Structures are given as C-alpha cells and as structure tokens.
Amino acid sequence: MVSDLEARPGDTARLVVRLPPGGQIRRFTLAGVPGAVRRTRGAVREALADWQWLPGVTEEQQAAGEDVLLLACELVTNACLHAGGANELVLHCTAERLRIEVSDNDPTRPTPRLPHEAGRPGGHGLHIVDRLATRWGSESGPTGKTVWAEFATP
C-alpha cells in the first residue's frame, strides 16, 4: 500500500491511498470474545490508520474516519444487545468506499425503532447508522444475518 498527498491549486489536500486491486479485507472473529466492542474499536482504529483514514488530512477526512469507528462499534454493540453477540467483523476498503460487516446468529433483520424519540434512552443506533453511512442494510445468511454499512472514500 502506497499513499500520496494530492493537491491541486485552490483545492484542499486529499490523501490518496493506493490499495491492491480489489482493495483490502480484514476479518476479525468476535464469537466468544470478551470485550468485543473494545476489541472492535482497537482493530478498526488500526485498520483506519493503515488505510490513512485516521488521522485525517482535513477535518472532513477526520470526521469520516471517526464516523466509521463509531458505526463499527455501534453495529457490534447492536449484535451483542439484540442478537446474542457478534460472530465476525469484516472491513473491506477499496479506493472508492469502505464497507463494515458484522455477522451474528440471529436471523431477525434490524429495524429502526419508530417513532424515533430523540429524548428517550435507547433505540438510536440504527438512526445513527442511517444518518452517517452512505448506505446500509442487512443480508440473511445460513445461520443468521450480516448487517453492513458503507462509506464513500473522503
């Protein structure tokens, strides 16, 4: 992986990370792991540093990296709270986007709590995911589901 700082006259600096064709994938087993959210935070932070999403060159890039970190932890937290625990975390970074996937054993697809009440404790996770991710969803699997979120490269 190679990176360059790219700037054009009048533009803000933009970090360009050269990934191999197809990008890079990192997988983390979380099944039965104590402190899954804490471990997720460390693993994602390390990956984002390697891919140069953190620290960001600009405020926008820094915010994008922090959003990815927040949502990865939120998806793992949701799996722990509502699906009996997360099995695996997958990060797939390409030049165009970064995708987070969290799998668990519960086939129930996640749905945002409606009506969303900002002042009420709990029930905000999927609303945060919907607001920060470029797109998100879930896919059924043979033994559960995978919830995913994608971010465009800043």
What is this structure's pTM? 0.85
Burial class (CB in 10 A: 0-12, 13-18, 19+), 59: exposed
Q: Is 146 left (phi over 0), alpha (psi -120 to 50) or beta?
A: beta
Helix (H, G, I), strand (E, B) or coil at 146: strand
Helix (H, G, I), strand (E, B) or coil at 56: coil
Going from N- to C-terminal start, the domains of the chain cover 23-152
Model confidence pLDDT, tens digit, residues 75-113: 999 999 999 999 999 999 999 999 999 999 999 999 888
Task: State percent of the chain over pLDDT 90.
Answer: 72
Residue 34 has pLDDT above 50, yes or no: yes
Domain 23-152's class? alpha beta
Q: What is the pLDDT averaged over residues 125-141?
A: 95
Contact assessment for residue 49 and residue 21, using Cβ atoms and an 8 Å cutoff: no
> Which 8-state DSSP code applies to residue 54?
S
